[in-house]
Amino acid sequence: MIAKEEIRDWFTSLQLDICKQLEETDGKGEFKNDPWERPGGGGGVSRVLTHGNIIEKGGVNFSAVWGKTPEPVLKSMKLQSGEHPDFFATGVSIVIHPFNPMVPIIHMNVRYFEMSNGAWWFGGGIDLTPHYIQEADAKYFHLQLKSVCDKHDPSYYPEFKKWADDYFFIRHRNETRGIGGIFFDYLKDEAPFNKASRFEFIKSVGSSFASIYTYFMKKNHLLPFTDKQKHWQHLRRGRYVEFNLVWDRGTKFGLDTEGRTESILMSLPPMAEWIYRFEAEPSSEEEKTLGLLRKGIDWIHA
Amino acid sequence: MIAKEEIRDWFTSLQLDICKQLEETDGKGEFKNDPWERPGGGGGVSRVLTHGNIIEKGGVNFSAVWGKTPEPVLKSMKLQSGEHPDFFATGVSIVIHPFNPMVPIIHMNVRYFEMSNGAWWFGGGIDLTPHYIQEADAKYFHLQLKSVCDKHDPSYYPEFKKWADDYFFIRHRNETRGIGGIFFDYLKDEAPFNKASRFEFIKSVGSSFASIYTYFMKKNHLLPFTDKQKHWQHLRRGRYVEFNLVWDRGTKFGLDTEGRTESILMSLPPMAEWIYRFEAEPSSEEEKTLGLLRKGIDWIHA
Q: Measured between alpha carbons, how far is B192 from A243 in angstroms, rounded to an integer?
A: 45
The reported pLDDT for the residue numbered A263 is 95
Q: Low-confidence residues of chain B, pLDDT below 50?
A: none
The reported pLDDT for the residue numbered B219 is 98
- Compute the average pLDDT of residues A219-228: 98
Beta strands A169-170 and B169-170, pairing class = unpaired
Domains observed in chain B: 4-291 (3.40.1500.10)
Strand partners, A112: A90, A122
- Compute the average pLDDT of residues A211-238: 98
| B131 catalytic residue (yes or no) | no
Tens digit of each residue's pLDDT (9 = 90 or more) over A162-197? 999 999 999 999 999 999 999 999 999 999 999 999
- Compute the average pLDDT of residues A205-225: 98
Of B48, B258, B275, the CB nearest to A276: B48
The reported pLDDT for the residue numbered A257 is 79
Of A46, A173, A252, the CB nearest to B261: A173
The reported pLDDT for the residue numbered A80 is 66
Tens digit of each residue's pLDDT (9 = 90 or more) over A27-50? 999 999 999 999 989 999 999 999
The ipTM is 0.95
Average pLDDT, chain A: 95
The reported pLDDT for the residue numbered B227 is 98
Q: Of A99, A176, A178, A100, which Cα lies nearest the Cα of A138?
A: A178
Return the residue in A94, A95, A169, A172 with the most chain B beta carbons within 10 A, the one to mutate for interface testing: A172
The catalytically annotated residue of A51, A84, A107, A131 is A107
For A52-75, letters b (16+ CB in 10 Å) and e give bebbbbbbbbbbbbbeebbeebbe
Are A24 and A60 spatial neighbours (Cβ–Cβ below 8 Å)?
A: no
Distances in whole angstroms, Cα of residue A120 to Cα of each of A42, A90, A149 = 18, 12, 21
Name the pTM for this structure: 0.96
Cα A204 versus chain centre, distance: 15
The reported pLDDT for the residue numbered A248 is 96
Q: How confident is the model at residue A299 (pLDDT cuts 50, 70, 90)?
A: very high
**Residues in B touching A246 (Cβ below 8 Å):** 245-246, 252, 255
Please indicate if any CB of chain B lies within 8 Å of the CB of A34: yes
**Residues in B touching A56 (Cβ below 8 Å):** none
Distances in whole angstroms, Cα of residue A273 to Cα of each of A234, A269, B32, B245 = 5, 10, 20, 15
The reported pLDDT for the residue numbered B81 is 63
**pLDDT of residue A258 exceeding 90:** no
Q: Of B138, B134, B130, B164, which Cα lies nearest the Cα of B236?
A: B130
Please indicate if any CB of chain B lies within 8 Å of the CB of A47: no
Strand segments (E) across B71-223: 86-98, 105-115, 120-129, 169-170, 175-176, 181-187
- Asked if B270 lies within 8 A of A272 by C-beta distance, the reply is no
Tens digit of each residue's pLDDT (9 = 90 or more) over A282-296? 999 999 999 999 999
Distance to chain B for A56, nearest Cα, Å: 11
Of B173, B245, B269, the CB nearest to A242: B245
The reported pLDDT for the residue numbered A30 is 97
- Asked if A276 lies within 8 A of B172 by C-beta distance, the reply is no
**pLDDT of residue A130 exceeding 80:** yes
